[in-house]
Chains A and B, each alone.
Chain A
Amino acid sequence: MKKILALASVAMLAAATLAVAGEDKVKLKDGPGLDKVRNDCIACHSLDYIPLNSPFLDAKGWEATVTKMQKAYGAPIKPEDAAPIAQYLAENYGKK
């Protein structure tokens, strides 16, 4: 099963995206780091997870979330992208 899932993951991602198509409507705030957020987060989930979880995490909270995505969920975030991504999230969707 695992092997099939791995092989079919790209096709399945496309299928799931087709089935629930509304994510194109999700608009994030402009700001430095948004390009990296778009690039590194959308492989696994729609970007509405970010506004959904706002504005109650502070800079540490967003850093911990990015780390959790890397360590627990195996997110393909480049090491040099983690800090700018966390900064973007804290700046635009953090607790003020």
Chain B
Amino acid sequence: MIDRRRFIAGMALPALASLPEISSAAGKFWQPEELAQGTVDSAVLEAIPGKLPLIKRSYRPPNFETPIDYFRDPITRNDAFFVRYHLSGIPQSIDAKAWRLKVGGDAAAHPFELTFEQLKKDFHPVEITAVCQCSGNRRGMFQPHVQGVEWGIGAMGNARWTGVRLKDILAKAGVGDKAVEILFNGADGPALPTTPDFQKTIPVQRAMDDNTIVAYEMNGKPLPHWNGFPARVIVAGWTGTYWMKHLTNIDVRSTPLANFWMAAAYRVPAKLFMNADPFPTQLAEANKPITDIVVNSLVTSIHDGEHVKKGQIVTVAGVAWDGGRGIRDVEVSVDGGRSWVLAQLGKDLGNYSFRTFEHKFRAEGSPVVMVRAYNNRGDTQVDKLIFNPAGYHHNVIPRIKLEVA
């Protein structure tokens, strides 16, 4: 039952070799100062099987955040990639040989099943580098605070995903004229049968997009168990809620899905975020589903309150990303927003990827560093939080004060 060979193959071996078998480190780690006190106090660095020590937000279901240092690299390593589950009925391991992907639904002409080998052999493989970001990334930084998993900045990661286009799988199933949504279900589920199983849909149009794939590799290795082994959905540009892990079912539906996870959760007020990608079959009067990731950036080289020497060259570096238009510019201010200069951008790994940036300046006076990214549509980050009750889309421009002495 346990496919141990496959599971171990999914781990990054060099890093694990230097780790004890069961690792629990209580080292110091940075957390944003906006987090609530209880959030800060209940966080510990802890390693779950196959992962480096990550920031524990909750043990069960496991919600573990990537510490900021790993975002200095534009690609997030598999063993540092964040872990997010809604429900605690998670298979401890999945046998890829026994795994089946069922493709059907009431608007599919030819339902069929795939083995893992067929998924890899019967379709043209594609690759995409894309940011997976939890909808609630940075929720813990909301003011006022809102209830949920109180994430800091690390409920995200950027990986090179290998898989097959969803539209190629759907072509084999035959998407009928009545199709409106494509449903995903995974092997994980609730602890109790009274809890709604985690199932999600996306619009047919988004399912047919070249950048929506079923991935079986992450950075050239099998998916880590906690990131959806053996196969997960990649809806590049859209938030992680649609990226179903441990994928078992794809249904072509003639009706919109109205479960808790679509109709009540993962929604934003109807009149906010008007630039967002549409989800026409899921609109309500008061709200609409969250869709694409808003333009954002993260400074990884300096922290608020850090001490620097007078005259020292300070590097402002980090990553910028958005929902797939691609990063056009990153602007940096070191004088609290009075003047802005363009940062130097790193290698372009594609529109759905992190883009690194860097700017150096000499520390004088009382520097207040601010960073704002722009995407190719001209969208940028906000000066003031766009409050919404579920705590989504935090892309506030940071103010990082440095102490010069």
**Residues of A bordering B, CB below 8 Å:** 1-2, 5-6, 8-9, 12-13, 15-23, 26, 43-46, 48-49, 51-57, 61, 65, 72-76, 93
Contact = CB atoms under 8 A, between A and B. Distances in A.
A19 B90 contact: yes
B60 A15 contact: no
B42 interface: yes
9 contacts: A8-B89, A12-B89, A12-B91, A13-B89, A15-B90, A19-B92, A48-B57, A55-B37, A73-B195
Contact of B36 (A16, A55, A75): A55
Given A15-B91, A51-B41, A45 B197 contact: no
B398 interface: no
Interface residues of B, number: 46
B190 A44 contact: yes
Given A1-B248, A15-B91, A43 B192 contact: yes
B86 to A, nearest CB: 9
B315 interface: no
Interface in B205-254: 248-249
Contact of A46 (B37, B60, B190, B265): B60
Given A13-B88, A19-B92, A53 B38 contact: yes
Nearest to A62: B147
Most chain B C-beta atoms within 10 Å of own C-beta, residue among A18, A21, A61:
A21
Interface string B44-70: 101011000000111111100000000
Contacts of B36: 53-56
A46 B58 contact: yes
Contacts of B248: 1
A16 B90 contact: yes
B118 interface: no
B154 interface: no
A21 B24 CA distance: 11
Nearest to B37: A55
B39 A16 contact: no
The 7 A-B pairs at the shortest CB distance, nearest first, are namely A74-B194, A54-B38, A23-B59, A56-B145, A5-B189, A15-B92, A46-B59
Contacts of B260: 72-73
B7 to A, nearest CB: 12
Nearest to A4: B189
B56 A22 contact: yes
Contacts of A74: 190, 192, 194-196
A23 to B, nearest CB: 4
A22 B88 CA distance: 14
B249 A1 contact: yes
Contact of B88 (A1, A21, A45, A93): A45
Contacts of A54: 36-39
B90 A2 contact: no
Given A22-B59, A52-B149, A53-B39, 5 more contacts: A17-B60, A19-B49, A23-B60, A51-B41, A55-B36
